[in-house]
Amino acid sequence: MTAPHPIQYVKGVGPRLAEKLASRGIRTAQDALYFFPKGYEDRRRVVPVRELRAGMTVPVRGKILSVQGTGRGFRGPRTLEVVIADGTGRIAAKWFRFHPSLAERFRVDDTVTLCGTVRIFRFFPEMHHPEILHGEDAADPVHFGRIVPVYPGVEGVPARLLRKIQWEVVHHHAEKEHEFFPAWILERAGVPPLHESLAAIHFPRDDADAASFQDFSSPQQRRLVFGELFALQWALARRRAGAERETAVPLPWDRGIVDEIKRRLPFELTGAQRRVVNEILKDLGKLHPMHRLLQGDVGSGKTIVAWIAAMVAWRHGVQVAVMAPTEILAEQHYRRFASLSAGLPARIDLLSAALPQKEREAARRKIRSGETDIAIGTHALIQESVEFRNLALGVIDEQHRFGVLQRAALRRKASTAPHLLVMTATPIPRTLAIALYGDLDVSVIDEMPRGRVPVRTRIVPEGERRKVFEAVRREVGQGGRAYVVLPLVEESEKLALRDATRTAGRIREAFPDVGVGLLHGRMKAEEKEAEMRRFKEGALRILVSTTVVEVGIDVPEATVIVIEHAERFGLSQLHQLRGRVGRGSRPSFCFLMVGDAQGEEAAARLSIMERTTDGFRLAEEDLRIRGPGDFAGVRQSGIPDLVFADLVRDAGVLQVAKELSEELHRRDPDLSSPGHAGIRSFLERRGDAVAGPAG
């Protein structure tokens, strides 16, 4: 790398402007090179006024017909209006709150070029605050006759000046950004070299496709996206390769245990369940640790799969840990595992923070001594004070609540690398799965147990609440259960609690003869557990709850879910909530209540919920609407912020980056060949560990 060139010494900058630029983080010419346009204007050709349409951002050129101040302000006219004509029509340019010197720049009969966005006002075209190109400016290749970059604003630096500075920077410094990817990688990725890309991103060539630059999909922009995604995938490729080098205790299945499991299955497995069980059992038999992600929509039956894996491991006399994100879920798993294994000498224990100190101590002791075969619990399982005797399989349920760090913590609980099965009900769009879990193999349960009737979903405006209550009354009257779910108020747990309490009160009034329960985040685990049990057993028929019911709770009798302020939830989250019902064979209902103020816009966004129950489709839609940052779990996952890449737009680049990073890792895992010095230092600069033992 060459020495940094302070921005101050770029032609036309100097100390005063340098300071302003520094406020945007631009201190060197290199910083400026990576300060990208936020958009582009196609100024390759002047457009005749007659061809103007609202929304076009183009140059027009004409003779000045009039220059006029209108509207009276305290210090003279408020609006400057300049009308020009080009022989095909006229257009007005308007400046609101202008400096008097602006008017002096226009003289009737002069020719002027204006660049701006066309609006139509009373049938006539106009532009507000267009860029003015007079005389020689109109011939300057920086501002005209090309696709022109539009930069994010830098305070104290006029847009035109900034463009000029960038022009200087590009012409004198882009060359120095040497390409570090080997030619075969660039070729396979279909992107041009770095210096060429940087130059074109600032000042696209005349024959470029302006639209592709505008939506950041030109090959030159993809070069930057590719570099970023490659770095991300390189880290995952290393992790994956690291796991392949590690050895684990092989846990092959045998006839005996398989027959035992089959005898105990309370239902026939679906085809998808059988397939994923096969994939998992195959992994477990290997000498290398399994790192597998099991994706399956809510209610698709992941728990039984986990139990089967646990039983196969148990047969070998090793320990299994099953980690759930909440106390309620851990206890639910514990009871299910216990009943499925009843009569077998498998010792299953629960470790939960909710247990009294003494019992917790005892549970930890049993795990340490190996008395416990299958330990089920919350994150309490990965606390430092917990030691396993011979942990060989870890199951993490509902991964989106846990991140990479938790996975690593569980792994450290074993002296030999344990097999890991990570389960999630959040359907993860494929691109996101690659970005987040590229180091895991993926199994998908894409089939529901037979006999499920799809949940019927309706968006309901506040005014029609009565109808919803009637449906609740009907279902509850027939022995069903109903959930009423409230959004979490992030700013204040107190507020959320007040909302929940008030709603519960209202519902008790509306249903005086029915048991109504309340579940919220402030309750102790055992209180929650007790309330859930009363609901499950039927002493309570309606459960009002904040989003704590979201994950994994299984009450087959529940046939209605009412979601208040549905507009505040993401589609994936609504889908998770909806999955609380429709678990039995009776038809179920989901009502999405939308506040009157939110009205139609919210209803439009949510209407896809009425049309599909396919979690993957909803997840893709969520990703498209809200971006990955909002996507469940992305923030906790340890994925770095992406500057150039957009996981929705750049799905194709991501796939290529994954393949090429894996290939490079196979060819030169330490990047020690001289040809890879550049890429090595690029990865190091990004702060990624490049080689050596995988973390």
Residues near ligand ADP, by CB under 6 A:
267, 269-270, 273, 296, 298-304, 425, 449, 552, 554, 556, 583
Pick between residue 5 and residue 452 the one whose CB is nearest to Mg ion. Answer: 452
Residues 233-292 that bind Mg ion (CB under 5 A): none
Nearest distance from C-beta of residue 397 to Mg ion, angstroms: 6
| Residue 488: CB minimum distance to ligand ADP, A | 21
DSSP 674: G
| Smallest distance from Mg ion to CB 130, Å | 58
Which is nearest to 351 in space by CA: 384, 374, 317, 318? Answer: 374
Of 377 and 552, CB closest to Mg ion: 552
Q: By CB under 5 A, how many residues form the interface with Mg ion?
A: 1
Output the smallest distance, CB 2 to Mg ion, in A: 55
Residue number, 183 or 453, with CB nearest to ligand ADP: 453
**In 10 A of CB 376, how many CB atoms?**
29
Q: How far apart are CA 538 and CA 507, in angstroms?
A: 17
Structure tokens at 218: 């030109």
30 vs 295, beta carbon nearer ligand ADP: 295
Nearer to ligand ADP, 270 or 352 (CB): 270
Minimal CB distance residue for Mg ion: 552
CA of 63: how far to CAs of 44, 49, 114, 138, 625, in Å?
20, 12, 11, 14, 45
Task: Find tokens 């995988």 and name the residue.
Answer: 694
Closest distance between ligand ADP and the C-beta of residue 528, in Å? 18
| x/- map, 501-540, Mg ion, by CB under 5 A | ----------------------------------------
CA dist 193 and 182 (Å) reads 10
C-beta closer to ligand ADP: residue 296 or 325: 296
* Nearer residue to ligand ADP within complex by CB, 301 or 438: 301
Tokens of 250: 């092989």
Q: How many CB atoms lie within 10 A of CB 158?
A: 10
Q: How far is CA 241 from the centre of its chain?
A: 25
Contacts of residue 606, Cβ cutoff 8 Å, sequence gap at least 6? 459, 566, 567, 571, 574, 592, 594
Helices (H) and strands (E) in the chain, counts: 23, 21
Which residue from 246, 200, 205 is spatially nearest to 223, judged by alpha carbons?
Answer: 200
Contact of 231 with 300, CB cutoff 8 Å:
no
Q: Which residue has the tokens 């390189």?
A: 234
For the beta carbon of residue 608, count every other beta carbon within 10 angstroms: 17
In the complex, least distance from residue 552 CB atom to Mg ion, rounded to whole angstroms: 4
Asked whether the beta carbons of 631 and 215 are under 8 A apart, the reply is: no
Of 218 and 326, which has the nearer Cβ to Mg ion? 326
| Side chain identity at residue 319, one-letter code | Q
**At closest approach, how far in Å is the CB of 335 from ligand ADP?**
12
Binding of Mg ion at residue 552 (CB under 5 A)? yes
At its nearest, how many Å lie between ligand ADP and the CB of residue 312? 18
**Taking the CB of residue 607, how many other CB atoms lie within 10 A of it?**
12
- In the bound complex, which residue of the shown chain has the CB atom lying closest to ligand ADP? 301
Stretch that binds Mg ion, among 201-209, 546-554, 565-573, 629-637 (CB under 5 A): 546-554
Least separation in angstroms between CB 552 and ligand ADP: 6
Q: Which does 401 bind (CB under 5 to 8 A by kind): Mg ion, ligand ADP, none?
A: none
Distances (CA, A) of 263 to 258, 341, 505: 9, 11, 47
Say which residue the tokens 């009569």 belong to: 343
CB 566 within 8 A of CB 606: yes
Q: Which is nearer to Mg ion, 325 or 552 (CB)?
A: 552
C-alpha–C-alpha distance, residues 562 and 584, integer Å: 18
Q: Is 241 exposed, middle or buried (0-12, 13-18, 19+ CB in 10 A)?
A: middle
Q: Choosing among Mg ion, ligand ADP, none, which partner's interface includes residue 449 (Cβ < 5 to 8 Å by kind)? A: ligand ADP
Phi/psi of residue 521, nearest 5 degrees: -65, -20
Distance CA 411, CA 414 (A): 6
Q: Indicate the residue among 88 and 339 with the shorter CB distance to ligand ADP.
A: 339
- Mark the segment that binds Mg ion (CB under 5 A) among 208-216, 284-292, 405-413, 544-552: 544-552
Which of Mg ion, ligand ADP, none has residue 270 at its interface (CB below 5 to 8 Å by kind)?
ligand ADP
Span of 248-256, 535-543, 552-560, 680-688 interacting with Mg ion by CB under 5 A = 552-560
Residues, the chain, total? Answer: 695
Which residues are 445's β-sheet partners? 296
How far apart are CB 563 and Mg ion at their closest, in Å? 20
Q: Which does 301 bind (CB under 5 to 8 A by kind): ligand ADP, Mg ion, none?
A: ligand ADP
Judged by beta carbon distances under 5 to 8 A according to partner kind, the member of Mg ion, ligand ADP, none in contact with residue 554 is ligand ADP
Smallest separation (angstroms) from ligand ADP to the CB of 271: 9
By beta-carbon proximity to Mg ion, the closer residue of 552 and 570 is 552
77 φ/ψ angles, rounded to the nearest 5 degrees: -65, 150
Pick between residue 304 and residue 645 the one whose CB is nearest to ligand ADP.
Answer: 304
Interacting partner of 633 out of Mg ion, ligand ADP, none (Cβ under 5 to 8 A depending on kind):
none
269 binds, among Mg ion, ligand ADP, none (CB under 5 to 8 A by kind): ligand ADP
User: Please, what sign has the CA dihedral across residues 252, 256, 259, 260?
Assistant: negative
Q: Which is nearer to Mg ion, 446 or 499 (CB)?
A: 446
Q: Which is nearer to ligand ADP, 205 or 335 (CB)?
A: 335
User: Which of ligand ADP, Mg ion, none sits in contact with 96, Cβ below 5 to 8 A by type?
Assistant: none
Nearest approach, Cβ of residue 583 and Mg ion (Å): 11
Q: Which CB sits closer to ligand ADP, 5 or 275?
A: 275
Strands 111-121, 57-73: pairing is antiparallel
Rg (CA), the chain: 32
- From ligand ADP, Mg ion, none, interface partner of 351 (C-beta below 5 to 8 A by class): none
Residue 258 touches which of Mg ion, ligand ADP, none (CB < 5 to 8 A by kind)? Answer: none
- Which of Mg ion, ligand ADP, none is residue 426 near (CB under 5 to 8 Å by kind)? none
571's CB contacts (< 8 A; 6+ apart) are 605, 606, 608, 609, 618, 619, 621, 622, 625
Q: How far is the CB of 332 from Mg ion (least distance, A)?
A: 8
Q: How far is the CB of 403 from ligand ADP (least distance, A)?
A: 20
Phi, psi (deg, nearest 5) at residue 454: -60, 140
Please choose which of Mg ion, ligand ADP, none residue 576 contacts, taking the beta carbon within 5 to 8 angstroms, the exact cut-off set by kind: none
Environment class of residue 371 by beta-carbon count within 10 Å: exposed (0-12), middle (13-18) or buried (19+)?
middle
* 538 secondary structure, DSSP code: T
To ligand ADP, the closest distance from the beta carbon of 541 in angstroms equals 19
d(CA 77, CA 98): 9
Residue 438 contact among ligand ADP, Mg ion, none, beta carbon within 5 to 8 Å by kind:
none
Q: Which does 615 bind (CB under 5 to 8 A by kind): Mg ion, ligand ADP, none?
A: none
| Interacting residue ranges for Mg ion, rule: CB under 5 A | 552
